[in-house]
Amino acid sequence: MAVAYESVLLIGGNVGDPPALLARAEALIDERIGRIVARSRDHWTEPWGFEDERLFLNRALLLRTVLEPTALLDGLLGIERALGRVRDQAVRYAPRGIDIDILLIGESVIDLPQLQVPHPCMHQRAFALSPAADIAPNWKHPVLHRTVLQLLNDLRHPVPALGRDDGMRAC
């Protein structure tokens, strides 16, 4: 029998009806991927990495699943596609109806071409850390050895060790 583990996901979007799309994404995740055991409050934020007049709705989910990490990723990408997401490899940051990111998987560090865990940019993004802090404030980043709440506070009061030499990929 497979062993269940917990993962922190970030879901978000700014096109169409974000509350409805996130609700549908949550239902599909719970149905196809694993059990959602906690969800953050909603966070409306400015776009990151591009200009757009629409705010993003972001929400973190604490998920319990038995899927292996690459199967988890494949399942989440399938949900994105089912909800109309078409990824353009030439455009990294753009408006979208749904985006589902894996932020953390237990204490795992995964560095595959298709999957990096912890998410390589999460420590630089308040829109990811704020929702994650709602549901997992004490979850320790396995590379930076700081909790989600500490990383969020570091964005307001930068710590020199979290600069370009932090061992994480560039965002």
Q: Which is catalytic among the residues 85, 92, 146, 169? A: 85
Burial (CB < 10 A; 0-12, 13-18, 19+), residue 95, is: middle
Nearby residues of 160 by Cβ (< 8 Å), 6 or more positions away: none
Indicate if 52 belongs to the active site. Answer: no
Q: Which is catalytic among the residues 39, 59, 96, 125? A: 96
Q: Which is catalytic among the residues 39, 59, 101, 134? A: 101
Indicate if 111 belongs to the active site. Answer: no
Indicate if 30 belongs to the active site. Answer: no
Strands 35-39 and 56-65 come out as antiparallel
Q: Which is catalytic among the residues 39, 59, 99, 125? A: 99
Q: How far apart are CA 79 and CA 83, in angstroms?
A: 6
Indicate if 101 belongs to the active site. Answer: yes
Query: In 14-55, which ranges are E strands?
Result: 35-39, 43-45
Burial (CB < 10 A; 0-12, 13-18, 19+), residue 165, is: exposed
Residue with tokens 């894996």: 102
- Catalytic residue ranges: 85, 96, 99, 101
